A = this chain, B = another copy of it.
């Protein structure tokens, strides 16, 4: 688990945009679980960050200077920038937002990467059918909370696994999950899953891995589909993923599939998905809650809170008004 002392806040000159670039003043920063896996110096699907580099993150900001005709000063944009107050970025890698449509911070959650991840991971990888049971680990997280709600929209039974009783209440009472349990207060995951998923698990959306997923694999239904989005139980493990029970025979018996994915696979269809998510948000079918920490200097604290499961909603850092 990172410590606040692992981070350093430094000052440097505000850079100038070259041709095709813009200078963005960052307003909101998103801290997300995947960032932890990049703080290792090891390259996986993305390059590992080196000590001293600016940490990457999704940002919503305001264009301060533009050297590209597509964007003008004052435009609100979203993009993969960094933990910083100002950043220069290629205009074509920024998404221009319409502040009339929804609060601009939603571009980092429901109408951003977490929403797209939930959308494609659930609908494309798992293809849930009405009345199927959809189980989500990390269900109160940014991605999981949307997965469970989309499952409800698709008329599935939506069951969540989360890390506190408060989160369980939030999932069931506010987000409309059909059931949920607090894994930290549950000794026997198997019994709890059997109780909440009496017909087995048709779809499992995994953000967590480890012993929770081991238990789910014992309860998958025939022709189950498992989307692997993240394995947060491993992110802070110094010894790597470790070992666990083998379950490939179970996949044969259940004729089931397990598929890992990255949201970037679906980049060609982001627009369609964002339109759908935006409609659901407008119609009140998607509910969200943000946990906003003020000040870039508090980004490490926000990040650690999020990793520890302490955030009360999508963890954001407000950098400027």
Contacts and interface: CB of A to CB of B under 8 A. Distances in A.
Interface of A: 44-45, 206, 209-210, 213, 228-231, 234, 241-262, 265
Contacts of A228: 248, 251-252
A254 B45 CA distance: 7
Given A243-B245, A248-B258, A258-B248, A253 B44 contact: yes
Nearest to A222: B45
A229 B209 CA distance: 24
A169 to B, nearest CB: 29
A262 B231 CA distance: 28
B252 A242 contact: no
B258 A230 contact: no
Nearest to A261: B255
A295 to B, nearest CB: 32
Nearest to A246: B241
Contacts of A244: 243-244, 246
Given A255-B262, A262-B255, A265-B255, A249 B209 contact: yes
Closest 3 CB pairs of A and B: A251-B260, A257-B259, A252-B260
Contacts of A260: 248-257
A234 B246 contact: yes
